[in-house]
Structure 1
C-alpha cells in the first residue's frame, strides 16, 4: 500500500534539505581532518610522541567503523533528522572539550566523542538522498555528496592553519565548535525524514535488532556493496590521511610544499572523477560493479608504474598515480547506490552502515600493515625511510585490492541471482539502463 506523498521528490524542498544535511557532512569532515594541520601544535600542547599523535587518527577511524552497524540500526529506527541532531551534538561537545583539553587523556576522550558524532552523519545524508530524490537523480547526488564533503578537508587546511596562527588553539577549536550549534538549529527547523506522510522509519523492537541486522547482512547485495567500498576506498584514505605525505617527501624526494599541493589537488580531482562516475553508473546501472573494478584496476596499474620505476618517478607519473588513487573515493560511493537497489528504505540505514564499514576497516588494516612493514625493513624510524622501503611497504595495497576484487566478483553473481529470483523485472530494467526502485520504496515518478 502506497503512503501519502505530501512533498515533491527531487524538487526545491529536496535540494534544500540536502544542502542543510550536506553542510553537516562538510562540518564532520572538517572536524575529522582538523588535527592534520594541528599535529605539531598538539604534540607541543600535550607533550606526546609521534605514535601517540597518530593514535588520534586511528582512534577516530576505529570509533567511526565500530559504530556503523549500531548507527545503521538507529537510523532505521529514528530517521536521518534525529541522527544528524545527535551527531552534531556529539561533534560540538567533542570539539569543545578538545579546545580546552590540556592532557593527552582528555584529548583522546574528546576525539573519541567527535568520532562517535561523525559516525552518525554520512549514512544519514545518504538515506535522505535515497528518499528525497528520483531514482535517476540519486547516483549523481550521491557522488556530489561524497566529493562535496571534501570541502571540509579543504577548510581544515589553509583556513584552519591561519586561525591557529592568529587566534591560538583554544579560541580556534572553540570557535569551530560553535558552527555545530548553528547547524543544530538549521537541521531542527528544515530537515524532514521523508516526503511522505509516514517517515518510513522502522520501529524495530530491541529483541529483534540482532535478527534484523542478520537479515540485512544475509542479502548478498549488502555484501556486494561492502566489498565494493572496501576495495575502492582504502587507498585514497591511506594516502591522504597518513602515508601519502611521507611517501612523496621521503620516498620521491618532493618538497613538503609540493607534497601538500598534490594532496590538495587530489580533492579537486575527486570532483571531476565523481561527476564522470555518477553519470556512468546512472547510464549503466547493471555494470556498476565492473565500473568499480575498472577504477581499482587503473589505480593498481598506476601504482605499479610508480613503484617499479628505477629511482624516483617523473612528476607527471606521480600525479597520474595520485589522481587515480583519488578516483577510488567516488568509486566507493557506488557501493551505496548498490545498497539502494537491494533494500527498501526501511532497511537502508542498516545496509549503508554495513557497507560503510568496508572501506574504513580496509583503511585501518592497510595503514597498520604499511607501518609494520616499514618498521621491519627499516628499524631506524621515519627519518631513515627511503624509496626502497616505501616500494615494499606500499605494495601491501595489492593484497587488499586482489582480495576485494575477488569478493566483488563473487558477490555480484550471488546478488544478481538473488535479485533475479526476488524481482525478475529488475534485471531487465537494469540491463536496459533504466533506473529501478526496490518495491519497498514508493513509485517516485520515474
Structure 2
C-alpha cells in the first residue's frame, strides 16, 4: 500500500518549497563556475584543459549518482537524503572556495555533483507524494521555474555583486556554502516524506519485492527508455547552445557579447515559463503525447533556423531563442510520464534514471560538438572560429530533435496523466479498477 494525497495543503507547499530551494541551490552550484572562470583560472594557476575538467567533474558525478539516488530515496525517504545532501553541498562549496590547486578544486566539484544529484529527484518525489497526481506535471514545472533562477543568479547578478562590492570569489562562495547549511536545518525541521492520513493506493504488485527485482522490472519496461531518451534528446540543445556554445556562436554571427548573452537569457526565461505552463496544460487536457510532439517540433524548427538561417533582425533571434526555451520544457513532462509508466515503489529510481540520462547526454554532447568544431577548424583558436565551423558542430542539435520527434510520434504510449500499472481502492467510493 502507498499513501496518496488528495488535496494541496499549506504544509505540503512548505515542504515542496524547501526542496525547490535546494534545487535552485543545486542549479546555482552547477553553473556558477563559468561566471568566475577568469578568477578561478588565475587564482588556481589552471590551464584551459584543467578548468574544463573541473567543470565536467560536476556533471559526471551528478549523472553517475542518479540511479543510486533513486534507490536511496525509495529505501530511506527524502528527508534523510536531503539532510545529508545539503550538508554535502555546503561542505563541497566551502572546499572549493578554499581550494589551492587543481586536485582540491576537482574534489570540491565532484562532491558538489554528488550532493546536488539528490535535489531534483527528491523534489519530484515530494511533489508526487504531497500533491494530487493530476497536478504533478504543474508542480514539476513550477519546480523547474524556481530551479532556473539558479543559473540566472549565477550569471549577471553574481558578477555584478562581486564587482560592485569588490568581494573576492572565495569569500562569496564561503557565504554561499552557509546557505546549504541553512537548507540542511530546514530539511531536518520541516521536511516529511509523505503526509499523514493520506488515502491508500493498492498496487497490482502489492507483494514486497527485493530492490534488485524492482530495478530489473524498471529497466525491462520499454517506456522507461522511450521517455528517458525523449527527455534527454529534447533538453540537450538548451544545455549545449544556451549553456556552452551559444554565446560564442552568436558572436561569430556578428552579435555583440552583451546581445548574445541576452539571447541565452531569453531561452532560460522561456524555459522557466514553459515548464509550469506546458505542465498545467498537459494536466488540464490529460494528455502527454501532443505536448511531446509539439516540443520536438518547436525544437527542430528553432535549432535549424538559429544555426543555418541568415538572420539579421534582433527580434527574430529573440523569437527563436524563446521558441528553443519552450521546446526544452518537453523534458519536464518526461518526468511526469516516466512516473506514470512505472510502479510507485520504483518511482524515485525511475525519476533518477530519467534525470541521469538527461544530464549524461548534456555532458557528452557538448564535448562531441567541441571535438567536431576543433576538427573542422584544424584546431583553430577559439577567437577565430567561423560560423561554418560552428554549423558543422551544432548539426547534432536538430538531429537530437529529429530523434525526439520520432520517439514521441511512434514509440511513446499515452498515459492520460494516470499510473499505468495500478488500481485504486477508495474507501467509501466506487472501487472498481480502471483499465489502461
Structure 1: segments with no counterpart, 5+ residues: 201-206, 417-426
Gaps of 5+ in 2: 201-208, 431-436
Residue 286 (structure 2) aligns with: 285
1:322 is matched with 321
Question: What is the distance in 2 between the residues matched to 1:245 and 1:73?
Answer: 38
- Does the C-alpha gap of structure 1 residues 214 and 134 become closer, same or farther in structure 2, counting only changes over 3 Å? same
CA contact (8 A) 1:339 1:352 kept: yes
Kept in 2: contact 1:72–1:354 (CA 8 A): yes
Q: CA deviation at 1:155?
A: 1.6
Correspondence 1:217-232 to 2 at 5 A: 217-232=219-234
Whether the aligned pair in 2 keeps the contact of 1:83 and 1:121 (CA below 8 Å) is no
Please tell me whether residue 439 in structure 1 is matched to residue 422 in structure 2. Answer: yes
**Where does 1:7-406 land on structure 2 (aligned, <5 Å)?**
9-165=7-163, 166-196=166-196, 208-249=210-251, 251-286=252-287, 288-310=288-310, 313-379=312-378, 380-406=380-406
Deviation of residue 110 (structure 1)? 0.3
Alignment partners' CA distance in 1, 2:53 and 2:199:
39
Matched residues in 1 for 2:424 and 2:342: separation?
Answer: 9
Q: Distance in 2 between matches of 1:240 and 1:181?
A: 30
CA shift for structure 1 position 208:
4.3
Contact kept in structure 2, 1:299 and 1:325, CA below 8 Å: yes
Deviation larger for 69-78 or 315-324: 315-324
Counterpart Cα distance in 1 of 2:226 and 2:284: 20
Q: State the alpha-carbon separation in 2 of the partners of residues 162 and 140 from structure 1.
A: 33
Residues 289 and 408 of structure 2 are in contact (CA less than 8 Å); yes or no, is this contact kept in structure 1? yes
CA distances 1:19-51 after superposition (whole Å, capped 9, x unpaired): 111111111111111112111111101112222
Tell me: CA distance 1:215–1:15, structure 2 relative to 1, closer, same or farther (3 Å): same
Give 1:328 shift: 3.4
1:194 counterpart SS class: coil
Distance 1:352 1:345, change over 3 A: same
The 3-state SS of whatever aligns with 1:136 is helix
Give the SS at the match of 1:150.
Answer: helix
TM-score (norm: length of structure 2) = 0.89
The separation in 2 between residues aligned to 1:363 and 1:183, in whole angstroms, is 27
Deviates more, 1:365-374 or 1:297-306: 297-306
| Corresponding residue of 2:206 | none
State which drifts further: 312-321 or 335-344: 312-321
